[in-house]
Amino acid sequence: MHRITVIGGGFAGLAAAITAAESGAHVTVYEAHHTLGGRARTAEGPYRTNEGPHALYNGGPHWSWLKQRGLIGPLAQLPPLEAARLRLRHHGVLRRTPPFGMLKLLRRGLPQAPVDVDFLTWATDIAGEEGARAAAHYSAVALFHHDPGSLSAAFVQERLRRATKLPPEAHYPRGGWGSVIGRMADHAWNLGVRMETLSRVDTLPTDAPVVVATSLDAARRLLKDDSLTWTSGRTALIDLAVRTRRGDAFAVSDLDRTGWIERFTAQDRTLAPAGESLIQGQIPLGPDESKAAGTARAEELLDLAFEGWRDRVTWRREALANGRTGAVDLPGTSWRDRPAIDRGNGVYLAGDQVAAPGVLSEVSFNSALTAVSLALGQKTLDLKHA
């Protein structure tokens, strides 16, 4: 019987633990926090917020994996009337439809964008500069980056396609992402996985393979490996509860810069007390922008889409996410160039900034399954086509 140690009890760590246990391994998970989940935690209390806007995309491999095990649970359905309340800020005003140039980048049959050219350059040749910038800024909903146009065209095109697909790929587990984490933890427990919370690991065990399923920063410190770096976003997060008002927008995308505001109770009333709406937003920040500047930009969007919101606020919270929103690929790089999963000597990485394909949490999932396959000496996944 194999034994495997997993460090980190977030989405990647639990996916790795379940996969290893299903293969017959004895698994122990160590989580430094008092609860499992990592960035997929949902806050307890009257306002059930995620750490920034979260959605579960059904086009990725983790969807079928979770569904086969009954771990997705009930989904919050977005009423058609609410879906029609998506608004786009363009030239300082709210619109219902994107600019025509942006639509050119959403049509089927476009050639695959190149890896070694930035998105703005590639997209401008197709849609003109205005359409290219609008499309780049819209893609920030899945990038959390202040300048998506400067990133690899292939990287941004894939996320733009996924974020604008109809019918939408994005789904919302009822009760927040924490409900999925709870089901994953219960499933792992039933498989015999031992889970130790409030257990910070400072020295790697040497008697069994280890899957390090932490943030890349934490992995770099733990493994004492300065090569474990990759570009990520820096984002101001704002959470609000306001008294409900008919006519509020469902979501607002800033096409003039970057930013996304979403009323999560439009699809899931369980996230806030009756009569209140829960709004979460993310405003990507440039290197020299402060959290206060990001909050001010969020308030501009709120002023446009949520009339009288300042007088309706019942609860508010702000935060800064620095390097905690997944990998972004610069021109000339792809997921294959990120830090390798296999670190040698029985140590493997899993998380959203390592060498695995996918969008957002899909990277964590793909890397977790690959890490376990390598640790158990099994045939690894064909990530080239994942």
* Structural domain boundaries in the chain: 3-55+177-230+331-385, 75-173+232-327
Instruction: List the beta bridge partners of residue 95.
Output: 88
In this chain, the answer to whether the domains covering 3-55+177-230+331-385 and 75-173+232-327 adopt an identical fold is no
- Supply the pLDDT for residue 26: 96
Query: Where are the strands (E) in the chain, listed by range?
Result: 3-7, 26-30, 56-57, 75-76, 86-90, 93-95, 170-173, 194-196, 210-212, 232-243, 251-254, 260-263, 276-284, 313-327, 342-344, 347-349
For the domain covering 75-173+232-327, report its CATH number. 3.90.660.50
Task: Supply the pLDDT for residue 146.
Answer: 97
Over its length of 386 residues, how does the chain's per-residue pLDDT go in tens digits? 689 999 999 999 999 999 999 999 999 999 999 999 999 999 989 999 988 768 889 998 999 999 999 999 999 999 999 999 999 999 999 999 999 999 999 998 899 999 999 999 999 999 999 999 999 999 999 999 999 999 999 999 999 999 999 899 999 999 999 999 999 999 999 999 999 999 999 999 888 999 999 999 999 999 999 999 999 999 999 999 999 999 999 999 999 999 999 999 999 999 999 999 999 999 999 999 999 999 999 999 999 999 999 999 999 999 999 988 999 999 999 999 999 999 999 999 999 999 999 998 999 999 999 999 999 986 544 444 33
Q: What is the pLDDT of residue 276?
A: 98
| C-alpha to C-alpha distances, 262 to 268, 298, 311, nearest whole angstrom | 12, 11, 19
Confirm if 88 and 140 have CB atoms less than 8 A apart: no
Phi, psi of 30 (to 5 degrees): -110, 125
Assign a CATH topology to domain 3-55+177-230+331-385.
Answer: FAD/NAD(P)-binding domain (3.50.50)
